Amino acid sequence: MDADKFAELVRHGNEKLRVDNVVVEAGDAKLRGKGILRIERDSLEVDLTLRGRTVPGHARVVTKKNLWRMSGLVSGHLAFRCDTVSPGGTATSRNGIITITRRLHPIELVTERPDSPKAKRRRRILQKQLGLKPLDDALDRSFEFEATIVNCPLPAANGKTKTTWMNDFLGETWSSSLDTFSGELATARYALICAKNGSDLDIYFRSKEGSESGGEDGDWRKFRAFLAALAFANGVQPWPFRIKYSCGGHRVSEILCAARTPARTSYSPVNEAIGFQKSEAFGLAIKAAAEFLEPTTELNRQLTHLLFLFREAGKSQFSWRLRFWLYVFS
C-alpha cells in the first residue's frame, strides 16, 4: 500500500482497510488499539478496538484544545495521523473489549521531513554512492502544490494535451484535447487540467523562478488564497480531496479527505462559456481575487465565509431558510 493506491481507494469511496499500531492522544490519556478504516463517499471513519481502557469523557461543547490526535498504520505500511479527531462519537463494550467509532477529517500521510537529520544523512550517503557532489538544499526555495477536486469541470481553457501513438504498421498518429488552463499570479504560476478520468480537476500551483518559499504557513496562505479565488470565479467549493505540498523539491505533507462532490452555485462572475471563449477574463478574475484574498484580514475572513454560504446554497438538500436569508441580503 502506497500513497497513490490509498488515494485511489479514497477516490472510489467504497473500501475497508486494516489499521494497526493506532495511538490516540485524548487529553492526558493515551489509548492504543487496532481496527478498521471505513472509506465511504462522504466520510472516512475508523472503528477502533481498545483493550483494558475506559474511553475518556469530554465536554458538551468541543473546542480546538479538546480535539484528540490519532496516528497509526494503514494496511501495516502507510503511516497516517489526524490531529482533529472529535472526542464525540459512538462507543460499545463487549467482554471487556471497547470499540469506538470516530470520523477522520482530514487524514495526513506521514512523510519524513526533508530537513530532518535522518533525511539529510540518507541524501549524503546516496550522493556519495552516486559520485555526486553534496548539494546545498537551502539554495532551492521553490514550493509546489498538487491537488484534485472531485467531479469538477474545467472552468476555462487556453491550452491542450497532445497524445501521440506509434504503431509498427500504422505509423504515427496523434490526437489533441483542449483540457488545460494555465495562468500566473505575482509569485506563482498555476495550471488547471482535466483529470484522466474525465470528471475531476487536477490543480498544479508552483512558485515562479526567483520566488522563494515564505515558509510552510506562507506557502499555504498563498495556495488557499488561490483556491478561494478559483471558487469565486467558477462557483465551486474549493475542497480538494487530495493535496500534496512540496518545498525545495521534497515532499512535506500529503492530505486526504473523503472524495465528496463539492457544492456549487450557478451565480459566479465567470461561467464556462466565458471561460472557454474569453479565457483571459477568467485569468484576470483569478489573479485579482487571489491578490485580494491573500492577506489575513477580518474582512477577507468574513467575505470568504459569505461566499462559502452562497456556494452551499447551491446544494439540493440545503436549508430553505438559509437560502431565503441569502436571497434577502444579497
Is the same domain home to 142 and 275?
yes
Please report the sign of the dihedral spanned by the C-alpha atoms of residue 322, residue 59, residue 92, residue 14.
positive
Q: What local confidence, expressed as pLDDT, does residue 325 receive?
A: 46
Name the residue with higher pLDDT: 188 or 53: 188
d(CA 213, CA 297): 21
Is the distance from CB of 209 to CB of 189 less than 8 angstroms?
Answer: no
d(CA 213, CA 118): 23
**Mean pLDDT, all residues of the chain:** 86
d(CA 108, CA 48): 18
Q: What local confidence, expressed as pLDDT, does residue 96 receive?
A: 75
**In this model, does residue 54 exceed pLDDT 80?**
no
Neighbouring residues of 174: CB distance < 8 A, sequence distance ≥ 6? 162, 163, 164, 165
Q: What local confidence, expressed as pLDDT, does residue 118 receive?
A: 61
**In this model, does residue 10 exceed pLDDT 70?**
yes
Q: What local confidence, expressed as pLDDT, does residue 136 receive?
A: 52
**In this model, does residue 111 exceed pLDDT 80?**
no
Q: Which of 108-112, 179-183, 237-241, 282-286 has the lowest mean pLDDT?
A: 108-112
Does 98 fall in a domain? yes
**In this model, does residue 47 exceed pLDDT 90?**
yes
Q: What local confidence, expressed as pLDDT, does residue 269 receive?
A: 77
Domain count, the chain: 2
Span 258-262, mean pLDDT?
93
Q: Which amino acid is at 156?
A: A
Name the residue with higher pLDDT: 80 or 249: 80
Beta strands, E only, 27-167: 29-40, 44-51, 68-74, 78-85, 90-94, 97-103, 107-109, 143-149, 159-167
Of the three residues 92, 109, 126, the one that is the final residue of a domain is 109
Please state whether 73 falls in left (phi above 0), alpha (psi between -120 and 50) or beta. beta
State the DSSP code for 9.
H
Is the same domain home to 103 and 45?
yes
Does 193 fall in a domain? yes
Q: What local confidence, expressed as pLDDT, does residue 270 receive?
A: 76
Is the same domain home to 142 and 181?
yes
Q: In angstroms, what CA-CA distances link 136 with 141, 144, 167, 207?
A: 11, 19, 45, 19
Q: DSSP of 36-71, one letter per residue?
A: EEEEESS-EEEEEEEES-PPPP--SS--GGG-EEEE
Span 56-78, mean pLDDT?
83
pLDDT digits (tens, 9 = 90+) for 96-106: 788 999 999 99
Q: What local confidence, expressed as pLDDT, does residue 128 receive?
A: 66
Q: What local confidence, expressed as pLDDT, does residue 61 receive?
A: 64
pTM of the predicted structure, to 2 decimals: 0.84
Does 179 fall in a domain? yes
Q: What local confidence, expressed as pLDDT, does residue 125 receive?
A: 64
**In this model, does residue 217 exceed pLDDT 50?**
yes
Name the residue with higher pLDDT: 61 or 186: 186
Q: Which of 12-16, 85-89, 207-211, 265-269 has the lowest mean pLDDT?
A: 265-269
Is the same domain home to 160 and 249?
yes
Of the three residues 109, 130, 156, the one that is the final residue of a domain is 109
Does 318 fall in a domain? no
Is the same domain home to 212 and 263?
yes
% of residues, the chain, pLDDT over 70: 84
Does 50 fall in a domain? yes
Is the same domain home to 78 and 156?
no
Is the same domain home to 183 and 239?
yes
Closest C-alpha to 107, from 162, 45, 158? 45
Position 1 confidence tier, pLDDT thresholds 50, 70, 90: confident
Does 314 fall in a domain? no
Is the same domain home to 164 and 252?
yes
Is the distance from CB of 143 to CB of 245 less than 8 angstroms?
Answer: yes
Position 311 confidence tier, pLDDT thresholds 50, 70, 90: confident
d(CA 32, CA 19): 12
Is the same domain home to 150 and 290?
yes
Is the same domain home to 105 and 142?
no
Containing structural domain, residue 225: 138-296
φ, ψ at 132 (rounded to 5°): -100, 150
Is the same domain home to 181 and 254?
yes
φ, ψ at 189 (rounded to 5°): -125, 155
Q: What local confidence, expressed as pLDDT, does residue 127 receive?
A: 57
pLDDT digits (tens, 9 = 90+) for 131-189: 656 555 556 788 999 999 999 999 999 999 998 999 999 899 988 899 999 999 999 99
Does 325 fall in a domain? no
We report the CATH number of the domain holding residue 72 as 2.40.10
Q: What local confidence, expressed as pLDDT, does residue 52 receive?
A: 62
Burial 236-257 (b: 16+ CB within 10 A, else e): bbbbbbbbbbbbbeebbbbbbb
